[in-house]
Structure 1
Amino acid sequence: MGKIASQSILTAVFSYLGVLIGYVNVLWLYPYALDANELGIFRTIQDLALLFVPFAQLGVGHGITRYFPKLESRQSAFLSYGLAFSLMGFLVVGAVFLGFKEELVQLFAVNSPEVVDFLGIVLLITLFALLGSVMDAYARSYLKVAVPTFFREVFLRFLTSVLVCLYLLDWIDFEQVMLGLIGVYGLAFLGVLIFLVWRKVLVLDFRWKNFPTGFRSSFLKFSLITFLATAASTLIMKIDSIMVSAMVGLEANAIYSIAFYMALVIELPRRAVSQVAMPVIADHFAKDRIEEINRLYRQISNRQLYICLLIFALIWGNIDQIYHFVPNREIYQAGKWVVFYIALGKIFDVGFSINSEILVFSNYYRFNLILTIAMSVLIIGVNYWLIPIFGINGAAIGSALVMLVFNGIKYGYLKQKLGLDPFSWDTLRILFIGSMVLSLSGQGVESVGPVTHIFLKSVFILGIYGVMSMALKVGREEWDYLKKLLKKSGP
């Protein structure tokens, strides 16, 4: 765990810096500079483009991570081979997109017709995001995670905010903002590319015949099988936003997107750890160290659940005050309960730990494919059922339910097949503390100004969480780490 923790620190810093920029963007800049319809277009086009990335990638990202440890040399040739394969996938996706463009137009024609004018941008964003994702996987295999995370989480969001600021200053129009997104994603990819070249781990090599016997066929087989699982997983994350635009309208998607982003911060510890954990899991499987995987599985579950429940309580305890700072909050505060249900779904996800990563790199990766495809079909069905009844709250409830079912099935499968279990008595104590603090998060502060309220409520929540943690003897590693930081920052 020490190696993963040390590798995760800088990644986590960049991730949270990205969240800080993202919060400024999503909670203030975007709703201030863009009207609700423009914001809905802005989010829908990006969600569509990113939805297509895993279909174009054809599983190359996971393939690189899994098969990289099997190569003692020829890593650069492996990268060029993966890039060529994913570019073929992009051509197929592009052909399908153009072939079914009329049907896509009809999907948005009734409730969100403005989206149709910008569909041509989708494929170019997909291309740059695709190339960036392959480079990320290659960098991750060298455990060089932090800088690619910077370009993905910080650089990209910063450039996007610059783009919107130019629009706010009337230096460019909205159409140029949308076209500028192509350049933003292109520069983020270029940054990762330059970093890998500078670190001398990327030299394009097209001598593909020198791979070990059977290597290429095994890599292609694994990639093609896992790509459907990855694509379906992305569909689960993105489809609710797209369906809200299509079934309700662009303003509803703007409200949903802001609420979704508020809740998204809860899963950031998981994303930071997962980036570094994947190559470690692949290495453990290659050396048949199942006990090490189980230990990692449990440690990550407890640590993430402990931290993420605290973040959930801090957000929910201050939710009305957070919305106070959102421009035109009378429109966007309608997404308050979206925050709660999406956050609950993220808690389900982090509690069940790295089960998806373990399945992907195990011999049972086909099960992950079947399950993820089934879940993607389920989320579409649940959204068609709940959105007409509950509107945007229905999409959020559906997302939370699917995350619970999805992770519960994976948990049972891994326990049966490999004897892995992320849960312990510590899990129950953490859940008890989190539930109690969440239920008390609406108490303890009288009516004061929003800034004072956030400060006092946060101190109250942190205090209760800390006292209960010490009483039940959980979270000691996290609090010890905070004490060390405070000592270092002292005189």
Structure 2
Amino acid sequence: MSKPAQQSILTTIAAYIGVLIGYVNLLWLMPYVLEPEQIGLFKTIQDMALLLVPFAQMGIGNGITRFFPRIKHQKYAFFSFSLFLGMLGYALVVIIFLLFKNPIMTSFSDKAPEVNNFLQVALIITFFSVINTLLDAFSRSFLKIAIPSLIRDVLLRLLMALLVIGYYLAFYPFHFMIWGMGGVYLLAMLAMAGYMVHIGIFHFDFRWKGIPGSFRKEFIQYNTITLLGTAGALLIMKIDSLMVSSMIGLDANAIYTIGFSIAVVIEMPRRAISQVAMPLISEKFAANLLDEIDVLYKKIAVHQLLICLLIFLLIWVNIDTLYHFVPNKEVYQAGKWVVLLIGLGKLTDILFSVNGEIIVFSKFYVFNITATLLMCAAVILFNLALIPAFGIEGAALASLLAMFFYNLLKFFFVKIRLGFNPFTKGIFTILFTGGISWAVSFYLIPVFEPVLLDLLVRSSMVSLLYLALIYWLKAAPEAMDLVINKIKSIFYGRIN
């Protein structure tokens, strides 16, 4: 097996292990050990820090990956220059943060005053995260992705778990645990730097005069464009959490965060499909194979909706059972409608297929930044309007509305500019099938007293009905043929 293939497999394994650890941390460990207000404070500080990261690193992480092949002969000067820009960006963010410190503190002083005691922790986490992101990008440029992924996805979450367990065992008080988050990100950064030293790619070279001025200008321009898109996308993911804390309280943010985390499982297959689709779309644009991109657009829409809608159904028909396993479920179960609304929002992303990826690799890529910034403004405005009226459900509804209009805007742009349309008969057939499967679960399947039995029976019946209808109605014939042939090969292989 080739080294790139091995790296890819190891990275995938690390990503899924990291997701599993993350869900154990958030859905079981934290609710078991911490009070809702403590979880809310923990996540608010972490989300605030991560929200600052793309602004501080100024899009340099993506720029390193894109421009590294052109500067290999001066790679360590490029590395040092990138780190310098990252630290400069962090310094600018700190200055701006301090200038607006009073308004920030005022926004939390009423409902979540505890946040104001730990703003320095957010800045510390931001610093270590910025450096770690740049080290990760540089390592990735050498095609060393498995260990950085292990550090990012597994080690960091394990250290967070140990930090919470240490508090549970009374090794230190709660405020020390919050400050300890900075130590966790420091250890992750040191692990990344240590790995790079071990493989011999951690060197500083301050002879920047050898880097052409035109190259530096292009590098900084690209980073600026990337910054707007990356920061906007992260703002969309994190701003609702911060606004829930500031407008309702930390306990509400804990409930919202757990509900949000359950819902985002729905889009995991979409992320994987996107990673595979991006190089294909890029290649086809380079070859001007627009008709093939349109075909791919339609196929991806059908296949990712087929998978993700089933996951959504399995989560929603079992939502009360899923909350049964969360410690202090009577508190956190109030977030079940957050799961529904955020889940529907994620389904809009899935339904409109890879419209964002198509725009990014087309000559109209700047529009993606415009659309992202418009969505950021929409999220904030919707949250300001809906949170006072509907609480955490208002925040979830704000995200749903923003995601829908965001995707609708990109859909019309792709349709008008490129003539592509992801909607086929299969899309509507799958949606119809999903509706029938939910109705059968809600109206016809009785509730069984043992929760595990109810989970098993309900999940099995909904899955079988959903897949049977998909097959009978020929909603996704290619996908179903692939599944059936795989089952046949396994079955006959065992017989022979």
Q: TM-score scaled by structure 1?
A: 0.89
2:462 maps to 461
2:189 maps to 189
Question: Are the structure 2 counterparts of residues 312 and 362 from structure 1 closer, same or farther at C-alpha, using a change threshold of 3 Å?
Answer: same
User: Does residue 476 of structure 1 match 2:476?
Assistant: no
2:449 maps to 448
Moved over 6 A (4+): 4-8, 487-491
Question: Are the structure 2 counterparts of residues 467 and 341 from structure 1 closer, same or farther at C-alpha, using a change threshold of 3 Å?
Answer: same
- CA deviations 1:23-49 (Å, max 9, x no partner) are 221121111111111111001000100
What aligned pairs does 1:73-92 form with structure 2 within 5 A after superposition?
74-92=74-92
Question: Are the structure 2 counterparts of residues 275 and 156 from structure 1 closer, same or farther at C-alpha, using a change threshold of 3 Å?
Answer: farther
- Match of 1:214, SS? helix
Q: Which amino acid aligns with 1:335?
A: G
Question: Are the structure 2 counterparts of residues 488 and 242 from structure 1 closer, same or farther at C-alpha, using a change threshold of 3 Å?
Answer: farther
Report the Cα offset of residue 387 of structure 1. 0.6
What aligned pairs does 1:90-489 form with structure 2 within 5 A after superposition?
90-138=90-138, 145-195=145-195, 204-210=204-210, 214-275=214-275, 278=278, 290=290, 293-294=293-294, 296-442=296-442, 443-473=444-474, 474=476, 475-476=479-480, 479=483, 483=487
Q: Relative to structure 2, which stretch is displaced further, 188-197 or 408-417?
A: 188-197
Where structure 1 has 5 or more consecutive residues not aligned to the other structure, the ranges are none
8 Å CA contact retained: 1:151, 1:192: yes
Q: Relative to structure 2, which stretch is displaced further, 132-141 or 300-309?
A: 132-141
8 Å CA contact retained: 1:65, 1:282: no
Q: Relative to structure 2, which stretch is displaced further, 305-314 or 104-113?
A: 305-314
Q: Which amino acid aligns with 2:222?
A: F
Q: Which amino acid aligns with 1:174?
A: F
Tell which structure's C-alpha radius of gyration is larger.
2
Q: Distance in 1 between matches of 2:261 and 2:121?
A: 23
Q: Which amino acid aligns with 2:356?
A: S
8 Å CA contact retained: 1:62, 1:223: yes
Question: Are the structure 2 counterparts of residues 35 and 490 from structure 1 closer, same or farther at C-alpha, using a change threshold of 3 Å?
Answer: farther
Q: Distance in 1 between matches of 2:207 and 2:482?
A: 48
Q: Relative to structure 2, which stretch is displaced further, 208-217 or 38-47?
A: 208-217
Q: Distance in 2 between matches of 1:388 and 1:305?
A: 33
Question: Are the structure 2 counterparts of residues 195 and 302 from structure 1 closer, same or farther at C-alpha, using a change threshold of 3 Å?
Answer: farther
- CA deviations 1:293-318 (Å, max 9, x no partner) are 55554444333222211111111111
Question: Are the structure 2 counterparts of residues 430 and 189 from structure 1 closer, same or farther at C-alpha, using a change threshold of 3 Å?
Answer: farther
Question: Are the structure 2 counterparts of residues 342 and 136 from structure 1 closer, same or farther at C-alpha, using a change threshold of 3 Å?
Answer: farther
- CA deviations 1:211-267 (Å, max 9, x no partner) are 577333222112212312221221111111111100001110111011011111112
Q: TM-score scaled by structure 2?
A: 0.88
Report the Cα offset of residue 336 of structure 1. 0.6
Bigger relative contact order, structure 1 or 2, given CA contacts below 8 A and separation 6+? 1
Q: Relative to structure 2, which stretch is displaced further, 18-27 or 129-138?
A: 129-138
Q: Which amino acid aligns with 1:449?
A: P
Question: Are the structure 2 counterparts of residues 151 and 279 from structure 1 closer, same or farther at C-alpha, using a change threshold of 3 Å?
Answer: farther
Question: Are the structure 2 counterparts of residues 125 and 9 from structure 1 closer, same or farther at C-alpha, using a change threshold of 3 Å?
Answer: same
Q: Distance in 1 between matches of 2:409 and 2:162?
A: 43
Question: Are the structure 2 counterparts of residues 323 and 466 from structure 1 closer, same or farther at C-alpha, using a change threshold of 3 Å?
Answer: same
8 Å CA contact retained: 1:140, 1:275: no
Q: Distance in 2 between matches of 1:73 and 1:484?
A: 53
Q: Distance in 2 between matches of 1:439 and 1:368?
A: 37
Q: Relative to structure 2, which stretch is displaced further, 275-284 or 310-319?
A: 275-284
Report the Cα offset of residue 456 of structure 1. 1.6
Question: Are the structure 2 counterparts of residues 379 and 188 from structure 1 closer, same or farther at C-alpha, using a change threshold of 3 Å?
Answer: same
Q: Relative to structure 2, which stretch is displaced further, 105-114 or 474-483?
A: 474-483
Aligned length: 489
- CA deviations 1:407-462 (Å, max 9, x no partner) are 11112212333344444443333333333333434342432211121122221122
Sequence identity of aligned pairs in percent?
46
Report the Cα offset of residue 485 of structure 1. 9.8
Q: Distance in 2 between matches of 1:226 and 1:216?
A: 15
- Match of 1:444, SS? coil
- Match of 2:445, SS? coil
